[in-house]
Amino acid sequence: MDTVIVPLELKFAGSPDAGEFEGYGAVFGNVDQHGDRILPGAFAATLAERKAVGGTVPMHVNHGLPQLGGQRAVGIWTDLAEDGKGLRAKGKISGMNTDAGRNLFERVKDGAFPGLSIGYRVAPGGAIYGAKAGEPRRSLKAINLGEISLVDTPSNGLALVDAVKTALAQPDAAAAAASIAAAMRLHDKHMGADPYGSPTLKERAQVMNHLRDGFEALTGSRAPEDLDAWKVAPTLRDVEALLREECGLSHKQARSIAARRFTAAPRVEGTATPEDTAALWALLSGFKLPQLSRDRS
């Protein structure tokens, strides 16, 4: 189960005793702490499916996890819909005629729960993986919504996300198999056809993204950072290849720029530092192609 936290912009509706409020469970276009971005339309299918069967999405506190002080089924979401901003959620606290219900609603009004958090899984084929510097890790276009929680978000929102993901972690063999199969297809497409070929950094990163997703599906956590694809040492040939593929330069231009602008690039695979790799991507992201001549020799 993945999660994303959004600050709770509360609006209250109905009578003071109704326990009704609304906010946003997700905001489109925002990149979260794990590098994911939710795209407009991501919730359309799952909301339509729930509406067709007359179902609703559960309302929990802190994803219903006792270790986080959570509670399950504290209310109902009466209306969920996408608008231009994100997933708009209207809800109602249950048991407003009880001390527990009134107490929870008062804490919502007082700001003790300053965030909403959705629990979701990415639908098959529902993610677009970033392959360039500065792109989100995943752009999510299809999400299966599991629940929406009130959360007492700590100052470090990432801490809550990690705690929730750890507590919710259950091996997902189907998701792991899909990710590994995607990595195998990329391997066969880019690396298996030509026994003398060499994959580019971009192709290696795409394969590693799928493998990391498979690792997370089985363990509930991201792969250790020492397996990060972007810390694979770039060689000068990698730099030249990226300049040709991403900027449309000739072999001559790519060789000249790699030698002149990235002289610190290691010559041997496996010796780059994270700073070396960061410098490479900073070079590419800041490059102004229109200023270059198009000598294709």
- Reported confidence tier of residue 291, pLDDT bands at 50, 70, 90: very low
Parse the chain into domains and list their residue ranges.
2-168, 174-231, 236-291
Which residue has tokens 């990391």?
Answer: 212
Residue 63 structure tokens: 């994803």
pLDDT at residue number 31: 86
From the list 231, 240, 252, 248, the residue with the least C-alpha distance to 283 is 240
**pLDDT by residue (tens digit) across 221-278?**
666 555 444 444 556 676 677 677 766 778 887 777 767 655 544 444 444 454 555 5
More confident residue, 118 or 184: 118
> From the candidates 20, 22, 60, 63, which is the catalytic residue?
63
Tell me whether strands 138-140 and 36-38 are parallel, antiparallel or unpaired.
Answer: parallel
> From the candidates 117, 139, 149, 179, which is the catalytic residue?
117
Integer Cα distance of 191 and 183 in angstroms = 11
Residue 178 structure tokens: 């899909």
- Write down the pTM of the prediction: 0.55
**pLDDT by residue (tens digit) across 191-227?**
665 555 566 666 777 777 777 777 777 766 666 555 4
63 is catalytic: yes
Mean pLDDT of 108-126: 88
Contact between 257 and 245 under an 8 Å Cβ cutoff? The reply is no
Q: What SS3 class is residue 294?
A: coil
147 is catalytic: yes
60 is catalytic: no
> From the candidates 22, 147, 216, 240, which is the catalytic residue?
147
**Which amino acid appears at position 151 of this protein?**
V
